Structure formats: C-alpha cells, structure tokens
Amino acid sequence: MAKIAGVFKKVDNVSKVLKGVDVLTNTTVMVGVPEDKNDRREAGISNAALAYVHDKGSPAARIPARPFMQPGIKAVQGEIIKLLGDAGKAVLKGGASSVTTYLNKIGIIATRSIKSKITEGIPPPLAPSTIAGRITRVKSKKRRAKLRADLASGTPASRQGGAEGIFTPLIVTAQLRNAIVYVLRRAKGKGS
C-alpha cells in the first residue's frame, strides 16, 4: 500500500508477479554453439561438432581435451547467481518485463567469459607439428620468418598465444570462438 496525502492506495501486482515468476522459471539461458548456426568456411565439420571435440578431446584423432565451456561458465558463476537474485527481486516488485533483461545479461556475461577462456589459451600447448603447419599457412614470407624466429626464441607471444592466434590452441580463424552465442528458450507448452 502506498500512502498519498493521507489516503492509502492498494496496488494489485499479483498478475505481474505471477507472469514474472512464469518467465523466470520457464526460460532457460542456453550458451554454446548451436548446430543450426554453422558458418564455417571449411566443409565437413560444423562449429558445434568442433566445439564438442575440442572441449572433450578425441584420442582417436589425437586431439587433447581443452575444456572451455564449463570453465568459462564457472568463472562468472557468482555474477550469474547475483543476476538471478536481482531478477527474482524485480519479479517480486512487479517488474515482470525486466526478467528477460536479466536473462539476456546472463547470456552475454557467460558468452564473453567462454570466449575469453579461449583467447587466454587453454592447455596443453599446441604440438610443434601443429604450430609448424599454422606458420606454413601464413601468406607473408616476412611474417612467417618472424613467427619462426619468435617460436625459436621462445618469446612470450609464442608461449602465451599472441601472434594472431598462431600459437593459441583453438584459434586460427576465430570462427569457433565467434560462433559461441546464447539463446533464451521457453519451456515447451509455456507462454511466450
């Protein structure tokens, strides 16, 4: 109840609160690489399949596991929990329309964190043969020579990733990293 000049005014926010609770409890923030969003230039494997193989590893293909999805989410878990709490508080105040805003913020934070994990470079380091292959594909002779010199001298760029992703696991063209997105999914049979 709000008191206005000695008069009490009752405001009925029950329908807004119920709608907000419905949106909050029946909407999932999904973060990853959707199979239907395959923008890879190379044919044969989708970004979704590639993300799975690199995240979990493939002993048959001699690809070590380089987990980036769960560590990316775990790194921002505290922020996500706080935003969910804020969304719940907004719902209880009758702010049903703001729930989607909070869920979108969660998706953005999670997506950025996963991409950041990839950019940081995930152990184990690339095999020497992989690095040699990546350097060979560089078009500029001068740039190839510099990369080989960096690698031979063990410069920080070659150890930490630098050099436009040449030495960073999971980054060559950045197509995989850029394919990581989020979507909000309503439970089937629930309102919009």
Over the stretch 15-38, which tens digit does the pLDDT of each residue have? Answer: 888 888 999 999 999 999 988 756
Rounded CA gap, 23 and 97, in Å? 9
Over the stretch 76-116, which tens digit does the pLDDT of each residue have? Answer: 999 999 999 999 999 988 777 789 999 999 999 999 999 99
Structure pTM? 0.80
